[in-house]
Amino acid sequence: MDEVKIYKGSDIPPPPSKPRIIRPSKSFLWKNYFIFVLIFILFTISLLLILLIFDFFIGSSADDAQRREVLFQAFYWLGVLYFATWSIITVVYVIGLYFYIKSMVFSVFGDEIVVKKGLINKSEKHVPYRTVTHIDMRAGPFDRLFNIGTIEIQTAGGKHTLDEQAEEKLEGIKIYREVRDYILTQLRQFQAADGTGTSIATLTDTSVSKISSEPTDSISLQMLSELKEIKSLLKDELFEIESKINDINEKIDERKKPY
């Protein structure tokens, strides 16, 4: 029996010649600064409440001015130490976070996603499409406040926990919906190529002729026509998403900023 070709590799859209480079939005930086300020305010209020309670139960029992003066000095230097410590933490956090987010680069290739990040210990994580099982989109309350979102990628070899944490995350993306759609389109094209990026395996089995009484050439042409329609739909969707991402990248290049 002659082998029946289902899909030719030349008909499959080739992967993009250049990767799509995606960086976190600057809003991601401001979101983290905002959360840091909220934490500082909560810590400060908690400390003030503790000092007020301590002064109410201990300070009020100090019957002489000297003991109250000692207590006041202790509160004063505790406050100085507290704000000095927070000042150092703030400077380190603000500068460190800026350069950490600046180092984050998400590259979307035709067969994998590469995530680069790290300030001191730099990491480069490759996520092949053949291992991807789930692609989720998440936007928490603070994310929605700053109009950003996160794309979570889970792989077959990832660490599955009770929380189902993602294997890799693309965080702080402004156009996260468009990027999610773009990655899904690339993933579908890769799966259409049978995970090799070149061609889908051919059938040498006789089961096709057993199932249908139509000639094998007719079946082959019908399946090829259907696959071409799928290819056309994917190309249209990919073109629209690429246009949006290219517009964003051009604006970023004009400003010459890493975001």
Percent of the chain with pLDDT over 90: 28
* Long-range contacts of residues 88-95, Cβ cutoff 8 Å, at least 24 apart: 90/36, 90/40, 93/36, 94/33
CA–CA separation, 82 vs 1, rounded Å? 83
Rounded to an integer, the average pLDDT of 39-50 is 92
pLDDT score for 93:
95
pLDDT score for 73:
83
The residue ranking higher by pLDDT, 3 or 93, is: 93
Place 198 in a pLDDT band, splitting at 50, 70 and 90.
very low
The residue ranking higher by pLDDT, 158 or 197, is: 158
pTM listed for this prediction: 0.65
Instruction: Enumerate the H helices of 103-215 as residue ranges.
Output: 141-145, 176-192, 207-211
Parse the chain into domains and list their residue ranges: 9-24+104-255, 33-100
